[in-house]
Each structure stands twice: as structure tokens, then as C-alpha cells.
Structure 1
Amino acid sequence: MNTRRIAQTLELIVGLLAQGRFADLHQLDVAPDLTADDLATCLRQYGGQVCLPPTPQWYYDFYPIIGTDKLAIDCDLFMDGELSDLTLQCVLWDEGVQQVYPFTINSIHVM
């Protein structure tokens, strides 16, 4: 998978979270485990405002899902301009030619 395209996908997801556009994010999710309300609740319970990283650098770990064209991602989230202990877990599919990878969000939790 292309690291630039991974970053663009994360920027889309986190940008929509930051804007509170949970329904839009849910519509883009190719295999949704969480509803738009679930996403909003996760962030509301943590408190603060999700934001893009202050630098264009993303903090994430990735794990190829063996036997598939998928990549599991654990991405550290920034809240109120600072790195938090909140983690976005998602899966990206290595397919299509769009600017971003197809994705699904598995969870947002403290890690």
C-alpha cells in the first residue's frame, strides 16, 4: 500500500470526525461496524475536540491482514491540538484508484 494514500485516507477520516460529520463518515465506510451515533458517543465520552495533527505527520501502526488485500491501522488521534491516548482503529482495502483507500472503522478507544 502507498503511504501517501494511507495518509490521505486518514486525513479524510479524521477530518470528518473533527467536523462532526459522522453520518457522512458512516456513508463512506464500506463495512460499518459503528453507527454515526456510536462514533459521536465515543468522542463525546472522551471529551475535547478531534483535530488533524499539527504537522502533516501521522502517528500510526499498521498490520497486514494475512491472505487479504487489507491493512489494519491503529492511528493516534489528536484532541484540542495535542496528541491524546485515543486511538482510531480501522481497516483499509488495497483496491480502487480513488485518492483514498476504501475503509471501515472498527473502533475509537483509549489505548
Structure 2
Amino acid sequence: MSKYLISFPSPDMKFPEEDLEAVAQAAHEVLREAKAAGVWVFGGGIDESIAPVMVDAQRVIHPGTYPQTAQIEGGYAVLELPSYEQAVFWAANFWAAKFAAACRCAQELRVFQDDPES
């Protein structure tokens, strides 16, 4: 089975601050449904209050990140499904659509390359 990433950037979430708890509860309900269905692998949001660092081959830590990934933030869910076609079907009809409703923004679906050792 392959793994699929459902994600969104934080700036696309647009709702009043007083709705934050309701948004979190709705997202956690989708998470619980995915766990119950046996497709949940991992998920969470990037802690944007902690700056990223880079670690090089000499074990030196540098502040910052690659320029093209400087804006990685938001929430991520990794699901495991039997095929890309099923992932797209379930994304459109269930998981991504429900996360989109919960988080109040569109969700992106990406496919991880198969790796027999992961």
C-alpha cells in the first residue's frame, strides 16, 4: 500500500479566532475517523513558533531553511491506501473533503514514492 499526504498552508485557513476550538475539534474528528478506518499513518501541524534549522553532513546546525521551503507550515496528514485511484476517490469523497471543511480551506493531495524499506 502507498502513502499519501494531505496538507494545507496555514495562511489559507480563514476563520474568526473564536472558532479555533471548533476548527480543532472538527479536524480531530476526521483524524479519529481515519484512524478507525485503518488508513491513518501520521499527522499534525507544524509548530510555527519554532524556527527551522538545517543540519549539514559535518553535523553543523545552521538557522533557517531552503529558500523554496521557507513557507512550509500548516497541517499534514499521512494516510495509507491501496492505490492512487482509491486515494483520489477517498480524498474527494471523504478524507480531504472533510479536512477541507474542518480547516476551512482546500487540501492538497500528494503521493509518496514507494519505498520497500519504509
Structures share a fold, TM > 0.5?
no
Q: TM-score range by the shorter chain?
A: under 0.3
Q: Which one scores higher on RCO, CA 8 angstroms, separation ≥ 6?
A: 2
Larger Rg: 2
Question: How does the TM-score come out when normalised to structure 2?
Answer: 0.27
Question: How does the TM-score come out when normalised to structure 1?
Answer: 0.28
